[in-house]
């Protein structure tokens, strides 16, 4: 974990009252390249599971964590960051994730992740071409735009409505969506 920037505004279910938190992974360039290569290989081989078909695109692309070299270190970073935000021990948290491959012209429609027992949600950016879409967080009648950056982790309340603006670049943008929950939900 390299840096934390918290943007303080009122939230209801995140221990540190903040709309979103930003963390940066120290060796993102090298690790992101390995993860992107493994992702593309699995995608081309058809060894993925896809869900959430919206606007002609599957928003969630799943690959088993064991199939992606280097991902375990990144998951540890995500959990450590989420534990800091939630003021919990790392072993009290579990995380699930999926790839989000936004091609030119793609958008992600407004939605939240509070369907089950999620405590916190987030996005980690692997590949971010210029003008490839921004994260927009909704809080009541306010909107907060978060610029994507390769190696950046953004954490926010699972109950926050959020969306991603249109990818106006000529390349795909690749990120990983994440949900965190309690290891022992009560």
Q: Is residue 184 part of a domain?
A: no
Mean pLDDT of 47-55: 87
Is the torsion defined by CA of 115, 79, 14, 183 positive or negative?
Answer: positive
* pTM for this prediction: 0.89
Q: Is residue 89 part of a domain?
A: yes
d(CA 128, CA 31): 15
Structurally, the chain folds into a number of domains equal to 1
Q: Is residue 131 part of a domain?
A: yes
CATH number at residue 149: 2.60.120.620
Q: Is residue 180 part of a domain?
A: no
Q: Is residue 23 part of a domain?
A: yes
Of the pLDDT bands very low, low, confident and very high (cuts 50, 70, 90), residue 18 is low
Question: Is-contact 133 175, C-beta < 8 A?
Answer: no
Quote the tokens at residue 185.
């939900």
Min mean pLDDT across 25-39, 44-58, 130-144, 163-177 is at 44-58
Q: pLDDT tens for residues 107-128?
A: 988 888 877 778 999 999 999 9
Q: pLDDT tens for residues 61-111?
A: 999 999 998 899 999 999 999 999 999 999 999 999 999 999 999 998 888
Element (H, E) at 64: none
């Amino acid at each position: 974990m390299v840096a934390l920037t918290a943007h303080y505004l009122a939230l209801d279910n995140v221990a540190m009252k903040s709309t979103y938190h930003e963390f940066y992974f120290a060796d993102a360039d090298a690790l992101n390249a390995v993860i992107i290569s493994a992702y593309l290989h699995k995608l081309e081989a058809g060894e993925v599971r896809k869900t959430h078909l919206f606007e002609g695109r599957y928003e969630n692309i799943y690959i088993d964590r064991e199939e992606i070299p280097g991902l375990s270190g990144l998951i540890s970073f995500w959990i450590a960051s989420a534990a800091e935000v939630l003021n919990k021990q790392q072993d009290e948290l579990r995380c699930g994730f999926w790839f989000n491959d936004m091609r030119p012209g793609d958008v992600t429609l407004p939605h939240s992740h509070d369907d089950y027992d999620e405590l916190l949600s987030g996005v980690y950016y692997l590949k971010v071409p210029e003008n490839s879409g921004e994260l927009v967080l909704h809080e009541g009648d306010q909107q907060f735009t978060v610029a994507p950056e390769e190696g950046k982790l953004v954490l926010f309340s699972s109950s926050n409505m959020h969306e991603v603006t249109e990818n106006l670049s000529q390349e795909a943008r690749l990120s990983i969506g994440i949900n965190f929950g309690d290891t022992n939900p009560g």
